[in-house]
Amino acid sequence: MYPLRRNRRLRAGHAIRSLVQETIISPNDFIVPLFIVEGKNVKEEIPSMPNYYRYSLDLLKNEVKELWNLGLKSVLLFVKVDDKLKDNKGTEAINDNGLMQQAIKTVKDVAPEMYVMTDVALDPYSSYGHDGIVEDGKIINDATCEILAKMSISHARAGADMVAPSDMMDGRILYIREGLEEEGFTDTGIMSYSAKYASAFYGPFRDALDSAPGFGDKKTYQMDPANRSEAIKETLMDIDEGADIVMVKPGLCYLDIVRDLKNEVEVPISVYQVSGEYAMLKAAAEKGWLDHDAVMMEQVTAIKRAGADLIASYFAKDVVSLIN
């Protein structure tokens, strides 16, 4: 007897393997998160994110040019805000001359076609390190949404192509969409972090922005990692409210959710491969326990195979340098 079907024929050599490869990674798959700080000539490594940096606006220019030359066409901006500018109202978040607004203009100056997305949430601006306004130890939903809409308008005014609300307040997509429409920003997109989990993988990011919650945790607004149907409910609502792109966050532990959504919705799905996922691989590779490049490629390929149309990833530059 012999096997009637020998699947190994299609794996026999590199050429045939590439011909039948189902998932292909390209620079077009990526959104590059960037961290920006006040100051001049600053490029500081984030301790829990080896080889990832915070840039001051002057050095941001070189980085953006480098990304553009590598074929990376989209950035997602985050700012580290001085403690003295933080309060409980998001005052600095809606300052048209704030660091974020300046960063948007800086990127557009050096790479006019770079697609600029911006983080919309109050945590980097909050004296409590929470994504919304705090009253009596609670995160206040609707008042927060009003600020998020103003913040989005301010980003659009500075030249942002798409705003990316990462806060998980109820109804914020509608507030933001209405705000943008009323101000005439009909072309500004919204990428909603529609299924964002209360994950322990965000630790290094909170180091990067010095934005860890000052009390409690984020479980009253971010989703329970145990829940699956809820991700579909959240995402369908955000699409109804006007989201152009939806997101699952984090990545690897949530690929079942990505596939569920891929089968359910017709808008592009992005996945945020978050800071803790980055840190884990960097640490293991530093110890010589994992092959960095091979595991990195396996991870981004798995995210795309699961159904991601876009991947926000700290590995974007590493991946593209490897495959170019």
Ligand X SMILES: NCc1[nH]cc(CCC(=O)O)c1CC(=O)O
The distance in angstroms from the start CA to the end CA of the chain is 46
| CB nearer ligand X, residue 61 or residue 89 | 89
Q: Which partner, ligand X, Mg ion, none, binds residue 121 by CB below 5 to 8 Å per kind?
A: ligand X
Number of residues that bind Mg ion (CB under 5 A): 1
Q: Which partner, ligand X, Mg ion, none, binds residue 234 by CB below 5 to 8 Å per kind?
A: Mg ion
| Helix or strand holding residue 239 (H, E) | helix 229-241
Contact characters 195-234, Mg ion, x per CB under 5 A: ---------------------------------------x
| Residues in 227-266 at the binding interface with Mg ion, rule: CB under 5 A | 234
Is 196 a residue of the active site?
Answer: yes
CA distances from 311 to 72, 105, 115, 258 (A): 12, 24, 14, 12
- Per CB under 6 A, residues contacting ligand X are 119, 121, 123, 131, 166-167, 202, 205-206, 218, 274-275
Q: Which partner, ligand X, Mg ion, none, binds residue 55 by CB below 5 to 8 Å per kind?
A: none
Q: Are 68 and 112 in contact (CB under 8 A)?
A: no
CA atoms of 258 and 230, how far apart (whole Å): 13
**Which of 86, 196, 218, 282 does the annotation list as catalytic?**
196
Nearest distance, CB of residue 255 and Mg ion, angstroms: 20
**Which of 86, 218, 249, 304 does the annotation list as catalytic?**
249
Nearest distance, CB of residue 274 and ligand X, angstroms: 4
Is 282 a residue of the active site?
Answer: no
Q: Which partner, ligand X, Mg ion, none, binds residue 161 by CB below 5 to 8 Å per kind?
A: none
Residue 167 interacts with Mg ion (CB under 5 A): yes or no: no
- Residue 131 is encoded by which pair of tokens? 């994504």
Nearest distance, CB of residue 8 and Mg ion, angstroms: 47
Burial classification of residue 113, based on how many CB atoms lie within 10 Å of its CB (0-12 exposed, 13-18 middle, 19 or more buried): exposed
Q: Are 198 and 133 in contact (CB under 8 A)?
A: no
Q: Is 68 helix (H, G, I), strand (E, B) or coil?
A: helix
Q: Name which of 286, 268, 270, 267 is nearest 278 in CA terms.
A: 286
Secondary structure (DSSP) of 143-158: HHHHHHHHHHHHHHHH
Question: Is 264 labeled as ligand-binding?
Answer: no
The residues assigned a catalytic role are: 196, 249
**Residues lying near Mg ion in the complex (CB under 5 A):** 234
Would you list which residues are annotated within the binding site for Mg(2+)? 234
